[in-house]
Amino acid sequence: MTAYLVALRAIVLREMLRFVHQRSRFLSALVRPLVWLVIFAAGFRAALGVSIIPPYQTYITYEVYIVPGLCGMIQLFNGMQSSLSLVYDQEMGSMRLLLTSRLPRTWLLFCKLLAGTAVSILQVYVFLALAAAFGIAMPPLGYLYVLPALVLSGLMLGALGLLISSTIRQLENFAGVMNFVIFPMFFMSSALYPLWKMAESSPLLRDICAANPFTHAVELIRFALYESVNLWALIWVVAAFAVFLVGALIGYDPARGLIRK
């Protein structure tokens, strides 16, 4: 058990130190959602106005509505950033060295997921603090209730990044794959507008967005910020996490995955 905890501490500490030393990564993780919140929201507020948005059944501003979606965006980009670091580690050989240790590969990969999730949660809370400084605040207890939701959504999106990294052999191919994953997942979700608004324009688009795992991650965060639980979103996030994690474990299997290739 001591060896497992030492490995967990070392991997999480390494990821934290890498994040601290990469200041541009931290700044970009904050500037991106703030730009969307302050500038991009202005146009959508003019189009949508003040709407009754379920499940709250109360009038809320558009800026308040998209805060959970931007929290999910931070975790989505961080998951892809973590997968980028994994691809880099594969090229440098450090990932191969890590996976050849005596500890189970499942535990080592799960430690990587926990490390990436911890970094993303730190970024989300800093963003929520800055949003509150701009006058866009959530219910006080929501900041506490959202923590489990952020852990689950971070693990799911991190597992997706882990799965993607197991299929990429060269760092140069990552940018195209990242854009192919990030933008469809983000725009075809409830991060920027509710699903009932999409149904007004296209029922098919609404169904596609409802099947998007990122949509359910955003809804899980949104309900948690308002001190509630979306059980359906919770089931979807846990199921998607299990599927992505199993796929990543298969991808990193020496007999079948990237290491053999």
Residue type, 88: Y
In this prediction, residue 195 has a pLDDT band, given cuts at 50, 70 and 90, of: confident
Average pLDDT (69-80) is 88
- Classified as helix, coil or strand, 228 is coil
pLDDT of residue 231: 93
Tens digits of residue pLDDT in 133-143: 888 888 889 89
DSSP letters for 48-109: H-SEE-TTT-SEE-HHHHHHHHHHHHHHHHHHHHHHHHHHHHHHHTHHHHHHTSSS-HHHHH
Q: Which of 22-36, 38-52, 58-72 has the highest mean pLDDT?
A: 58-72
How far is 84 from 78, CA to CA, in rounded Å?
10
So where are the chain's domains? Answer: 2-251
Residue of higher predicted confidence among 171 and 243: 243
Q: Yes or no: say if 77 and 32 are a contact pair by the CB < 8 Å rule.
A: yes
CA distances from residue 243 to 126, 138, 162, 213 in whole angstroms, order as listed: 30, 32, 12, 11
Residue entry with tokens 């809370």: 125
Query: Is the pLDDT score of 131 beyond 70?
Result: yes
Tens digits of residue pLDDT in 37-56: 777 666 665 555 444 344 44
CA distances from residue 76 to 46, 47, 50, 57, 245 in whole angstroms, order as listed: 27, 26, 27, 28, 16
Element (DSSP H or E) covering residue 52: strand 51-52
In this prediction, residue 259 has a pLDDT band, given cuts at 50, 70 and 90, of: very low
CA distances from residue 31 to 124, 132, 144, 259 in whole angstroms, order as listed: 12, 15, 24, 36
How many CB atoms neighbour CB 211 within 10 A? 11
pLDDT of residue 163: 86
Beta bridge mates, 59? 52
pLDDT of residue 258: 45
Percentage of the residues of the chain whose pLDDT score is greater than 70: 75
Average pLDDT (147-166) is 90
Cis omega (within 30 of 0) on the bond before 33? no
Nearest to 164 by CA among 87, 239, 95: 87
Span of 44-53, 98-107, 108-117 with lowest mean pLDDT: 44-53
Q: What is the DSSP code (8-state) at residue 59? A: E
Average pLDDT (229-247) is 92
pLDDT of residue 240: 94
Residue of higher predicted confidence among 184 and 198: 184
Backbone torsions φ then ψ of 118, nearest 5 degrees: -60, -40
Average pLDDT (177-197) is 81
Residue 122: which residues within 8 A CB-CB, separation 6 or more? 19
Average pLDDT of the residues of the chain: 78
Q: Yes or no: say if 164 and 179 are a contact pair by the CB < 8 Å rule.
A: no
Query: Quick one: CA torsion of 107, 155, 118, 40, rounded to 10 degrees?
Result: 160
Query: Is the pLDDT score of 73 beyond 80?
Result: yes
pLDDT of residue 217: 94
How far is 1 from 20, CA to CA, in rounded Å?
29
- Classified as helix, coil or strand, 137 is coil
